Amino acid sequence: MSVIVQDSGFVAEDFTGEWLDLASDTDPSTLAQFAGAAAIRIDFPSFADGRGFTLAKMLRLAGFKGRLRANGHVIADQYAMARRSGFDEVSIDDDLAARQPQDQWLARANWQAHDYQARVRRAATV
Amino acid sequence: MYSYNDFDEAFVRERVAQFTGQVERRIDGSLTEEEFRPLRLMNGLYLQLHAYMLRVAIPYGTLNPDQMDQLAMLAEKYDKGYGHFTTRQNIQYNWPKLPDVPAMLEALADVGMHAIQTSGNTIRNVTADHFAGAAADEEFDPRPVAELIRQWSTDHPEFQFLPRKFKVAVTGAPNDRAVVRAHDIGLVLKEQNGVKGAEVIVGGGLGRTPMVGKTLNDFVPFADLLPYIEATVSVWNLLGRRDNKYKARIKITVHEHGIEDIRARVDARFAQIKPTFGGIDMEMLAQIEQHFMPPLFIDKPVDAYERAYENDPVFRAWADTNLAAHKNDAYAIVTISLKKPGATPGDASADQMRSMAQLARDYAHDELRISHEQNVILPHVHKSNLPALHAILKSNDLATANAGLVSDIIACPGMDYCALATARSIPVAQGIASRFDELKLEHEIGQLKIKISGCINACGHHHVGHIGILGLDRAGVENYQITLGGDGTETTVIGDRTGPGFAYDEIIPAIERLIYAYLEVRLDSDETFLETYRRLGMGPFKTALYPPKEDKANAA
């Protein structure tokens, strides 16, 4: 079974629709066709494989407005990265959830704070 | 100099708290060793041969005296009383204990410093010309752009788990002192039709597959620079190879796909990314530029300097080698050599750091720099202060007059410290420096850059040394290969291998033979080693290195 992590902590699965699953080696030139999907899961085969963050960003840039989930081996320390890259949530397995319980994820729920990226991308004032 | 605003300050404090938590979570088992590893690396903490090593960023090589004093404090309190300045404008502490590291990071935050992204598969500490803001030949100060890139790259959410490390260097002078063509991205600042921007060079690098960077875009205006760099890293993050870490760097991606293909991908990605930048970055750059205004230069005579230069041969020798031309004629850029013959290149004791900090306060408008050549620079010294400054350097064992000469050697830590090394580097550097000190030939030989790496990863930049030395392991025995003709400047060239390598006890005599051959065949004392090599090629040097068998017998 898996555990869903959102800003409020561990939550129960509440999505009943069809997921579109993308591998971490998905060709970025193919992403635009998925922009209208309802929900996309991007696989993280290993926490060290950072491609999913850029894929998420690119899906959002392609206009994808649906639910976006990072699925697999994502560690609590990457929660802010996932949210900042455009993911809504993370899905991890029970073992990882037991090893890194909810409080370790909630510690990164403040992902909007201390964010250099948000800072350098603000609108010009003049 | 840049000083932290409230945001920067809060960020580094938060980051220290996060890392403190990560250390605790490693100990309680929340993080596996495999998961903890990249987290400690992106906070500058390596596990070395004997102990942990903390690598602290000195962004674009710039330090103020209080920061230097703090580095001295760390060396004394948490290390063995010294620190090691590296080829990427960092300082390394070789003996910290893991439980002390959070306190070290907190002490760094106290003076506006950090160890963030000095390691790991991240965008590393941005480096720049160490003479920035001072050099007579400078057209654009690289530091404000470097600081803007530091802010953009810090904790970038997409780029903390890249295929491999990613290094950026910036220069704004025609004479490239930042080795920008041997970086993943090198920027050469320029102006076109009154608009400031940069030539973007991509895919340079040393390591086991050395490559000279190629121009990705001849001119990117500053307003497009962050999205353009982001597009480049974004393309590589998805395209770069993750199946083989030796083929993961962007230089291989560029090599395998070709520069035109990469350019087309970057242009397309840039078009997508550019609208996500709201334009505040240019206002931030303008604010950052205010931090890098030149100091108020003093207007006073330079007689004291001229008198000392005429009357004191020791001062004159030092002035001839260790001073560089400043924008202001009455000023000089001082290189403080950390290459005393017999010493470890790049090491400074806590006392020496404090003395350099005080010199910067007393004589150098509160500024210090760390060069990629592992020396310390005082960028703004009025010439009238040079005799007094030199006297203090002498009393602190810091007045070695060898900047740019044969004993001003770049060397990686090698097998004395590094877990990756296959051979010793430091004793080879020490041996060469001591040998030429004995021969008293150094000033006669003139400009010569020797660079030594203790493994194929090339941290000692041997590929771009006029003489490069690469220490390898051949069946359990150290073996040193020599390359000639390398060049790390605006005319970057990867050196040519001479032939079979030399044993540990043969390498210093081999270098000596090379240099005697140069002295014999050069046109005159104005022709440098590199110029002679370019004129004559490998021939005379190869003969000197590998004498025919019968000569060897006679010599023995």
Say if the Cβ atoms of B278 and A122 lie within 8 Å: yes
Instruction: Identify the pLDDT of residue A126.
Output: 79
* Contact (Cβ atoms closer than 8 angstroms) between residue B326 and residue B333: yes
Determine whether B66 is exposed, middle or buried from the number of CB atoms within 10 Å of its CB (0-12, 13-18, 19+).
middle
Q: Is the dihedral of CA B318, B320, B326, B329 positive or negative?
A: positive
Q: Judge whether B14 is closer than 8 Å to chain A, CB to CB.
A: yes
Residue A84: which of B29, B157, B277 has the nearest Cβ?
A: B157
Q: DSSP for B251-267?
A: HHHHHHH-HHHHHHHHH
In the predicted structure, residue B39 carries a pLDDT above the cut 50: yes
Q: Render pLDDT for B89-122 as a digit per residue (tens, 0 to 9).
A: 999 999 999 999 999 999 999 999 999 999 999 9
Give A25's strand partners.
Answer: none
Please name the helix (run of DSSP H) or strand (run of DSSP E) that holds residue B85, with its range, or none: strand B82-85
Beta strands in B337-446 (DSSP E): 347-349, 368-370, 376-382, 410-411
Q: Render pLDDT for B368-418 as a digit per residue (tens, 0 to 9).
A: 999 999 999 999 999 999 999 999 999 999 999 999 999 999 999 999 888
In the predicted structure, residue B473 carries a pLDDT above the cut 90: yes
Structural domains of chain B, with CATH: 1-121 (3.90.480), 142-291 (3.30.413.10), 303-395 (3.90.480.20), 410-555 (3.30.413.10)
* Contact (Cβ atoms closer than 8 angstroms) between residue B442 and residue B488: no
Q: What is the dihedral of CA B339, B342, B345, B346, to 10 degrees?
A: -70
Return d(Cα A113, Cα A74) in angstroms, integer: 20
Structural domains of chain A, with CATH: 2-9+33-120 (3.40.50)
Q: Which amino acid, residue B409?
A: I
Kindly provide the ipTM of the predicted complex, given to two decimals.
0.98
Q: Judge whether A92 is closer than 8 Å to chain B, CB to CB.
A: no
In the predicted structure, residue B555 carries a pLDDT above the cut 60: no
Say if the Cβ atoms of A123 and B283 lie within 8 Å: no
Number of Cβ within 10 Å of residue B93's Cβ equals: 25
Q: Judge whether B159 is closer than 8 Å to chain A, CB to CB.
A: yes
Please name the helix (run of DSSP H) or strand (run of DSSP E) that holds residue B197, with its range, or none: strand B195-202
Which of A42, A61, A77, A100 would best serve as a mutation to test chain B binding (most B beta carbons within 10 A)?
Answer: A77
Q: Judge whether A118 is closer than 8 Å to chain B, CB to CB.
A: no
* Contact (Cβ atoms closer than 8 angstroms) between residue B39 and residue B47: no
Say if the Cβ atoms of B161 and A119 lie within 8 Å: no
Return d(Cα B393, Cα B403) in angstroms, integer: 14
Structure tokens at A56: 């998420």
Cα–Cα distances (Å) from A65 to A2, A24, A61, A62, B271, in that order, read: 24, 20, 10, 9, 20
Longest C-alpha distance within chain B, in Å? 75
Q: Judge whether B257 is closer than 8 Å to chain A, CB to CB.
A: no
For A49, name the nearest residue in chain B, comparing CA atoms only.
B161
Structure tokens at B93: 């502490």
In the predicted structure, residue B553 carries a pLDDT above the cut 70: no
Give chain B positions within 8 Å (CB) of A55.
238
Distance of residue A111 Cα from the nearest chain B Cα, in angstroms:
10
Which of A44, A53, A111, A125 would best serve as a mutation to test chain B binding (most B beta carbons within 10 A)?
Answer: A53
Give chain A positions within 8 Å (CB) of B158.
50, 53-54, 57, 81, 85
Say if the Cβ atoms of A49 and B159 lie within 8 Å: no
Three-class DSSP labels, B470-535 = EEEEECCEEEEEEEECCECCCCCECCEECCCCEEHHHHHHHHHHHHHHHHHHCCCCCCCHHHHHHH
Interface of A with B in 48-77 (CB under 8 A): 48-51, 53-55, 57-58, 61-62, 75-77
Instruction: Identify the pLDDT of residue B552.
Output: 52
CA angle (A104 as vertex; A102, A107 as ends), nearest 5: 110
Residue carrying the six token digits 């992204």: B117
Q: Judge whether A104 is closer than 8 Å to chain B, CB to CB.
A: yes
Say if the Cβ atoms of B237 and A51 lie within 8 Å: yes
Helices B426-439 and B504-521: crossing angle in degrees, nearest 10, is 40
In the predicted structure, residue B468 carries a pLDDT above the cut 80: yes
- What is the pLDDT confidence band of residue B556, given thresholds at 50, 70 and 90? very low
Q: Judge whether B117 is closer than 8 Å to chain A, CB to CB.
A: no
Residue B279: which of A49, A107, A124 has the nearest Cβ?
A: A124
Give chain B positions within 8 Å (CB) of A30.
none
* Contact (Cβ atoms closer than 8 angstroms) between residue B417 and residue B382: no
- Among candidate residues B116, B94, B87, B113, the one with its CA nearest the CA of residue B47: B94
- What is the pLDDT confidence band of residue A97, given thresholds at 50, 70 and 90? very high
User: Pairing relation of β-strands B82-85 and B62-63?
Assistant: unpaired
Q: Render pLDDT for A4-60 as a digit per residue (tens, 0 to 9).
A: 999 999 999 999 999 999 999 999 999 999 999 999 999 999 999 999 999 999 999
Distance of residue A69 Cα from the nearest chain B Cα, in angstroms:
15
Give B161's strand partners.
Answer: none
Mean pLDDT (chain B) is 96
Instruction: Identify the pLDDT of residue B141.
Output: 98
Q: Judge whether A100 is closer than 8 Å to chain B, CB to CB.
A: yes
Residue carrying the six token digits 């003093």: B298
| Helix ranges (DSSP H) in B200-349 | 222-239, 250-257, 259-273, 280-291, 303-311, 313-322
Cα–Cα distances (Å) from B462 to B90, B177, B181, B495, B497, in that order, read: 19, 16, 14, 8, 11
In the predicted structure, residue B550 carries a pLDDT above the cut 80: no
Residue B238: which of A51, A76, A113 has the nearest Cβ?
A: A51
Give chain A positions within 8 Å (CB) of B157.
53, 80-82, 84-85, 117
Instruction: Identify the pLDDT of residue A22.
Output: 98
Number of Cβ within 10 Å of residue A46's Cβ equals: 14
Q: Judge whether B279 is closer than 8 Å to chain A, CB to CB.
A: yes
Say if the Cβ atoms of A121 and B159 lie within 8 Å: no
Residue A100: which of B30, B158, B159 has the nearest Cβ?
A: B30
Give chain B positions within 8 Å (CB) of A57.
158, 234
Q: DSSP for B127-182?
A: EE-TTTTTBTT-SS-SHHHHHHHHHHHTT-TTSSS-SS-B-EEEE-SSS--S-GGG
Residue range B74-81: average pLDDT?
Answer: 97
Q: What is the pTM of this model?
A: 0.96
Say if the Cβ atoms of B35 and A78 lie within 8 Å: no
Kindly report each contact of residues B264-267 with a partner whose C-beta sits within 8 Å and lies 24 or more positions away, as own/partner: B265/B235, B265/B239, B266/B216, B266/B217, B266/B228, B266/B231, B266/B232, B266/B235, B267/B231
Residue carrying the six token digits 């009393």: B395
Instruction: Identify the pLDDT of residue B548.
Output: 83
Instruction: Identify the pLDDT of residue B51.
Output: 84
* Contact (Cβ atoms closer than 8 angstroms) between residue A64 and residue A40: yes
In the predicted structure, residue B50 carries a pLDDT above the cut 90: no
Give B62's strand partners.
Answer: B369
For B265, name the nearest residue in chain A, comparing CA atoms only.
A29
Residue B25: which of A55, A104, A122 has the nearest Cβ?
A: A104
